[in-house]
Amino acid sequence: MSLLIKNARVIDPSRNFDEVTDIFVDNGVIKGFGMFTNADEIIYADGFIAAPGLVDMHVHLRDPGQTDKEDILSGCEAAAAGGVTSLLAMPNTVPATDSAETIKYIREKAADAKAKVYIAAAITKGLKSEEATDLDELKEAGAVALSDDGRPVGDLSMLINAMKRAPELGMTVTAHCESLEIADGGIINEGEVSRKLGVPGIPAAAEDCGTMREITLAEAFDVPVHICHVSTKSSVALIREAKKRGVKVTAETAPHYFTFTEKELLKRDADYRMNPPLRREEDMLAVIGGLADGTLDAIATDHAPHTPEQKSDFVAAPNGSIGMETSLAAGITALVSKGYLTINELIQKMSTSPAGILGIEAGSLREGSPADIVIFDMNESHTVDPKLFHGKSRNTPFKGMRLKGKVKYTVVNGEIVYKD
């Protein structure tokens, strides 16, 4: 089966390529660029951008165990609609992704999904920091990363062992940086808004102490670590200084942290509650600055589906928001349109860089590469309507917003899996 994408502006940050041309795909692989005339299927992409499919390195698919919120297939439907062709599934499932058996279940179910599902396996059994998992078994079963995301690893010896073993196994440690003692049951950022609402707050220090801990370990043992969902001004500064010292640290943030501040919580709407929480304006601007100067390497969504019933109570609701269907448009709207990043730099942070951090075959449009491609109109505006989403959940902070940028096609292994 051949596919021809005609007259697109092709952007590939992996080789500094940015030209209007055709892409010819055959049997799921990119075969060439230039002027082509015929194929089994043709996409006329005049005025559109064709880029490497997005790589979302922080996704909660809720499967197994919480499939009322999302499952592997529905989550990948959402991914396809957002231009995400590869994603990293986090391990806080039920049961946790801490065994070869659970990894096998995820891989088998993902075989028919509309995106490629890579797996982050747990560092500790049940994410409880009581017993270490068998890292060799997890690697052999197919995991590419290690994390207890949802919670920090409480036992330092287990975390250090994982950080040391991960490079040997060709895996990436992605770290949820939080001091649970400092967070102390808070539900939004500690500050003016939490005091006004009379709800417990999470100090920025909870994240910052966790970030400093992971950086210290990476530096002490000269091993890599990836910092998840950075939200504070202080953590951005800690990562920036660590990079200057040569520490092997990479980091991600999420679209909600460069779009919103804690003031959204005045609505008492739990769709704006996530962990880490929305912070102050100075934190939001620091996150944007960290993206602009390269301190923050990647943009991931921390896609965290919940049911409307669970999100109906502002105080009792679980943390988390969904994001795969809005992430590209959010980046174009908040970063590219305002001049903080070029569209090439945005694609780098949403595709090429996360693929490199995870060491997966993605994030590039080269001859011989898998034909995983997002085609989008950078200038088309739309209003976010959660009723039109393709996943099971609707808990988005972007609801009702006017965003710029629209995914028109998503291609995985040369097959069109989404068409606007």
What 3-state class would DSSP assign to 230? Answer: coil
Q: How far apart are CA 240 and CA 249, in angstroms?
A: 9
Note if the pTM is more than 0.75.
Answer: yes
Q: What is the mean pLDDT of residues 202-228?
A: 98
Q: Looking at the domain assignment, is residue 315 inside a domain?
A: yes
Q: What is the mean pLDDT of residues 134-145?
A: 98
Q: What is the mean pLDDT of residues 398-408?
A: 98
Q: 358 near 57, Cβ under 8 Å?
A: yes
Q: How far apart are CA 303 and CA 293, in angstroms?
A: 25
**Per-residue pLDDT reduced to its tens digit, 37-61:** 999 999 999 999 999 999 999 999 9
Locate 314 and state its tokens. Answer: 């502002």
Q: Looking at the domain assignment, is residue 415 inside a domain?
A: no
Model confidence at 142, pLDDT cuts 50, 70, 90, reads very high
Q: What is the mean pLDDT of residues 212-225?
A: 98
Q: How far apart are CA 71 and CA 65, in angstroms?
A: 9
Mean pLDDT of the chain: 98
HSE of 294 in the Cβ direction (CA atoms, 13 Å)? Answer: 3
DSSP string, 354-413: HHHHHT-S-S---TTSB--EEEEEEEEEEE--GGG-SSS----TTTT-EEEEEEEEEEET
Q: Looking at the domain assignment, is residue 161 inside a domain?
A: yes
The residue range of the domain holding 79 is 53-363
**Per-residue pLDDT reduced to its tens digit, 364-398:** 999 999 999 999 999 999 999 999 999 999 999 99
Locate 226 and state its tokens. Answer: 């990836």
**Closest C-alpha among 334, 308, 312, 333 to residue 322:** 308
Q: How many structural domains does the chain have? A: 1
Q: Which residues are catalytic?
A: 302
Sign of the torsion angle spanned by Cα atoms 348, 300, 82, 92: positive
Q: Looking at the domain assignment, is residue 385 inside a domain?
A: no
Q: What is the torsion angle, in degrees rounded to the nearest 10, for the CA atoms of residue 328, residue 92, residue 177 and residue 344?
A: -20
pLDDT the model gives residue 184? 97
Locate 419 and state its tokens. Answer: 């068409």
**Per-residue pLDDT reduced to its tens digit, 147-159:** 999 999 999 999 9
Q: 384 near 403, Cβ under 8 Å?
A: yes
**Per-residue pLDDT reduced to its tens digit, 305-331:** 999 999 999 999 999 999 999 999 999
Q: Looking at the domain assignment, is residue 133 inside a domain?
A: yes
Q: Looking at the domain assignment, is residue 93 inside a domain?
A: yes
Q: What is the mean pLDDT of residues 81-86?
A: 99
Q: Find the distance separating the first CA and the last CA of the chain, reported in whole Å.
A: 21
Q: Looking at the domain assignment, is residue 384 inside a domain?
A: no
pLDDT the model gives residue 201? 98
Q: Looking at the domain assignment, is residue 121 inside a domain?
A: yes
**How crowded is residue 245: how many other Cβ atoms within 10 Å of its Cβ?**
9
The CATH number of the domain holding residue 348 is: 3.20.20.140
Model confidence at 243, pLDDT cuts 50, 70, 90, reads very high
Query: What is the H or E stretch that residue 188 is in?
Result: strand 188-189
CA distances from 182 to 94, 185, 204, 278, 411 (A): 27, 9, 9, 17, 44
pLDDT the model gives residue 331? 99
* Inter-axis angle of helices 72-81 and 100-110, nearest 10: 50
Burial class (CB in 10 A: 0-12, 13-18, 19+), 155: middle
pLDDT the model gives residue 236? 99
pLDDT the model gives residue 46? 98
- How much of the chain exceeds pLDDT 90, in percent? 100
**Per-residue pLDDT reduced to its tens digit, 342-371:** 999 999 999 999 999 999 999 999 999 999
* Inter-axis angle of helices 204-221 and 233-244, nearest 10: 10
